[in-house]
Amino acid sequence: MKEKKAKAPSLGRAMLYVILIAAAFLTLYPFLWMVAASFKPLKEIVGGNMSLISPNMSLDNYTYILGRSSMFTRWFFNSLFVSVIGTTLNVFINTMAGYSLSRLHFPGRDKIHHFLLVLMMVPGQVLLIPNYLILQNLGMLDSYTALIIPSAANIGNIFLMRQFFVNFPKEVEEAASIDGLGRYSRFFRISMPLARPTIATQAIFVFMGFWNSFTGPMLYIKSEAKYTLTLGLQSFQSQNAGTMWNQVMAAACISVLPIIIIYLIFNKFFMVGVRMDGEK
C-alpha cells in the first residue's frame, strides 16, 4: 500500500469517524427497520413505536408469507429458476464470444468488435417497446423464456472475457494442442476453467441483475403464478398498501437475503467487478 501520513491530528481523525459512522448509520437504518418490522405485529409498526426491538416480536409474518395461502414461495423459486438458467447461459455465451474475439482469427472480427461497441451505447429504455413486440411475435410473452433469452448475452461481459483472454498466455493452450486436444476440448477443458475468477465476477453480477430485475418481468409476465420475486413484492405492496407492512417487510427481507449471502461469501469478486466498470 502507498504511504500516507500515519497519524493525522486527533481532531481531524475524530471528524473522519463522525462522517463514517453517520454515513454507515444512514445506510443501515432502513435495513434495520426492514428487519425489525418483519418480526413485529402490524399494530405496533403503525403505532409509532420507535424502538427496533419489541417484546411482541415473532415469526408470524414469515409463517404467513411462506404458508400455503400466499404465492410467495412460488415467486421465490421462479426468481431462482430464471436467475440460475440466465446466469448459466450468460457465462457460456459471453465467455465463448470473448474467446472468439480475442483468440481466434477470422475475417470480419474487428467489424464485429466495433459493431458490439456501438450496440453497447444503446440506452436500455429505448428497447422496451420493440422487445415487447418482438417477444409477442415470437409467442414468448408471459413465459420464463421472455425473461431469460433477451438477457442471455451481455456486451460488457463479452468484453470482460475478451480482456481476460487477451492477457492470458497462449502457451498453455498450445501445449494442450500438442497433446492432441482439439479446439473445443481445449476451450471447455483448459481455457474456461482457467478463467474461473473472471467468470465468477461475471456470474455474480449477471445473477444479481436477473434476481433484481423489475422492468422486464413487469412488462412481459401477466399470470401471477409466473411472477418473479421483485414483481411479486411490488404487487404485494400495491394490494396491501398501508395495511400489511409487516408481511411486506418479511417478504422484502427474504428477497434481499440471497444476494447479501452471496456478497459476504464472494466479497472480493464484487470489488473486482466494480473496479472493472469504474476503470473502463
Partner 1 sequence: MPATTKSAQRQRKYTKSNYQEFRQGYLFLTPAIIILGIFIAAAVLFVVYLSFHKVNLFTGEYTFVGLDNYTRLLGDGMARTALKNTLSFAVIVVPIQTILAMIIASVLDSKIKGRYLFRTIYFLPTLTSSSALTIIFMFMFSVTGPVNNILIRMGFLETGINFLNDPSFALKVIMVMNIWSTIPQYTTMYLASLQDLPGSMYEAASIDGADSIRKFIYITVPYLKPITTYVLLTGIIGTLQMFDQAYIFSNGSGGPANSTLTVSLLVYRYAFGTQNAMGYAAAIAILLAVIIMIVSFTSEKLNASESDY
Residue numbers 107-166 binding partner 1 by CB under 8 A: 107, 109, 112, 115-116, 119, 121-134, 149-150, 152-153, 155, 158
Q: What is the DSSP string of 90-142?
A: HHHHHHHHHHHHHH---TTHHHHHHHHHHHHTS-GGGGHHHHHHHHHHTT-TT
Supply the minimum distance, in Å, between the C-beta of residue 54 and partner 1. Answer: 14
Q: What angle do CA 252, 259, 123 make, to 5 degrees?
A: 90
Supply the minimum distance, in Å, between the C-beta of residue 45 and partner 1. Answer: 8
Residue 5 makes contact with partner 1 by CB under 8 A: yes
Helix (H, G, I), strand (E, B) or coil at 237: helix
Whole-angstrom Cα distance, residue 69 to residue 191?
49
In the bound state with partner 1, the residue whose beta carbon lies nearer, of 77 and 115, is 115
Supply the minimum distance, in Å, between the C-beta of residue 122 and partner 1. Answer: 6
DSSP state of 62: H
Supply the minimum distance, in Å, between the C-beta of residue 55 and partner 1. Answer: 19
* Interacting residues with partner 1 between 232 and 271 (CB under 8 A): 233-234, 237-238, 241-242, 245, 248-249, 252, 255-256, 259-260, 263-264, 267, 270-271
Residue 176 makes contact with partner 1 by CB under 8 A: no
Angstrom CA distances, 220 to 136, 207, 235, 238, stand at: 9, 19, 15, 19
* Interacting residues with partner 1 between 62 and 101 (CB under 8 A): 92-94, 96-97, 99-101
